Amino acid sequence: MPPRPTPITSIQARRAMKKTFLTLTALLLLAFGPASMAGAESVRLSYSNFFPPTHIHSQLAEAWCKEVEKRTNGKVVVDYYPGGTLTKAKQCYDGVVEGISDIGMSCLAYSRGRFPVMAAVDLPLGYTSGAQATAIANAVAAKFSPAEFDDVQPMYFHAHGPGLLFTTETPVRTLADLKGLKIRATGNSAKLVKALGGSPVAQPMPDSYQSLQKGVVDGSMHPIESNKGWKLGEVVKYCTESIPVGYTTTMFVVMNKGKWAKIDPESRAIIEQINREWTIRHGAAWDEADAIGRKFSLDKGAEILPLDPAEAEAWVKAAQPVMDEYTASPEGKKVDAAAVVEFIKAEMAKGP
């Protein structure tokens, strides 16, 4: 009797189905796989900011992170670390270079001598608004493409409105009143304090409140917005409206070059567009914050002391050596500092 044909078992059926499934999957991957997988990939970045989370420029930075993720459809995701929790103010730039954070925002003035072209922006040239200072900072960067940023990918710059003189106990109406007072200042503002007859004390903004409160310093050079943004209005009593020698402090937003290279070209273009928009927003925010800071100061009982015309002229004359020192310095000569200053003056002359 011939043997019976063996029926297909359930195991054989499952194997056949599995083989068919794998074949179809392989075909789908060949057709659509690489594009789909590339679309699913994202670059995750960390962003270190020295501004506290409640400060408007911290809030704008956080909004930038969300906007980047939204407009790149999740191809670029940014984790945000405000208040110097990832890197401190002075270490922020090097932290980006070394990859401790992928993006950073802080002050160029915390690294004196390192950024000779952009240092010109911070000179006491009589800035009248944050929008003006911010526009000039980005114009200088675009015009001169400073080699000092070759180790990072600059995103954008922004700069506060006129830096003014604030004191805790001594009202300053004249240069004679300022003589010998210890004033917290950084970068070019420290040189300005010295030129005006004060004694500059270099300190980052996060340390200022306690120094003023404890009498370590007699005053501070900063924009009036800091009286609210950093609560300095709680510990200073007088504001000398030294607008004729109003300086600014340029803030940088930079990205690690290696991480920038990992972002696809389309997303990079999107980020560059967002950067242009955020430049304007930061400039406007500085001016809005100045108005809020002024009100906060007055509400706390501060006295605002305008310079009379003759005294203002004396302050401008006293500040001139700061400009001369910059253009005559070895760093300044290396980058043709005189040309940078002349460019800035021409931009300021165009008005708002």
**Cβ neighbours of residue 201 closer than 8 Å, sequence gap 6 or more:** 182, 183, 184, 185, 211, 216, 217
Question: Which domains are seen in the chain, by residue range?
Answer: 42-161+249-288 (3.40.190.170), 163-247+296-349 (3.40.190.170)
Please give the structure tokens belonging to residue 290: 């100045």
What does 43-65 look like in DSSP terms, one character per residue? EEEEEEE-S-TTSHHHHHHHHHH
State the chain's mean pLDDT as an integer: 90
pLDDT at 19: 54
At residue 35, does pLDDT exceed 60?
A: no
Residues 226-239 have a mean pLDDT of 96
At residue 36, does pLDDT exceed 50?
A: no
Task: Estimate the share of the chain in helix, then strand, then coil, as percent rounded to the nearest 5.
Answer: 55, 15, 30
Confidence of residue 110 (pLDDT cuts 50, 70, 90): confident
At residue 288, does pLDDT exceed 90?
A: yes
pLDDT at 7: 46
Residues 64-82 have a mean pLDDT of 98
What's the whole-model pTM score?
0.82
* More reliable by pLDDT, 332 or 165: 165
pLDDT at 226: 95
Confidence of residue 237 (pLDDT cuts 50, 70, 90): very high
At residue 38, does pLDDT exceed 50?
A: no
Q: If DSSP codes are grouped into helix, strand and coil, which group holds residue 187? A: helix
pLDDT at 251: 97
Closest to 90 in 3D by CA, of 75, 113, 108, 103: 108
**Cβ–Cβ under 8 Å, residues 193 and 185:** yes
| C-alpha span between 155 and 275 (Å, rounded) | 6
At residue 24, does pLDDT exceed 80?
A: no
Closest to 93 in 3D by CA, of 153, 158, 161, 160: 153
* More reliable by pLDDT, 21 or 173: 173
Residues 289-293 have a mean pLDDT of 96
φ/ψ of residue 63, rounded to 5: -65, -35
Q: Give the rounded distance of the alpha carbon of 267 from its chain centre.
A: 21
φ/ψ of residue 307, rounded to 5: -85, 135
* More reliable by pLDDT, 129 or 17: 129
**Cβ–Cβ under 8 Å, residues 187 and 108:** yes
At residue 118, does pLDDT exceed 80?
A: yes
At residue 206, does pLDDT exceed 80?
A: yes
Closest to 123 in 3D by CA, of 137, 110, 111: 137
* More reliable by pLDDT, 301 or 13: 301
pLDDT tens by residue, 2-23: 445 444 444 454 455 545 544 5
At residue 43, does pLDDT exceed 90?
A: yes
pLDDT at 352: 65
* Ranges 12-16, 64-68, 175-179: which has the least confidence: 12-16
| C-alpha span between 136 and 133 (Å, rounded) | 5
At residue 264, does pLDDT exceed 50?
A: yes
At residue 29, does pLDDT exceed 50?
A: no
Angle between helix axes 130-144 and 265-299 (nearest 10 degrees) is: 150
What does 254-283 look like in DSSP terms, one character per residue? EE-HHHHHHS-HHHHHHHHHHHHHHHHHHH
Residues 298-325 have a mean pLDDT of 97
Confidence of residue 204 (pLDDT cuts 50, 70, 90): confident
First to last CA, the chain: 106
pLDDT at 331: 85
Residues 141-170 have a mean pLDDT of 98
Q: If DSSP codes are grouped into helix, strand and coil, which group holds residue 343? A: helix
Query: pLDDT exceeding 70 applies to what percent of the chain?
Result: 88
Confidence of residue 223 (pLDDT cuts 50, 70, 90): very high
At residue 250, does pLDDT exceed 80?
A: yes
At residue 1, does pLDDT exceed 80?
A: no
pLDDT at 57: 95
Closest to 193 in 3D by CA, of 220, 211, 173, 170: 220
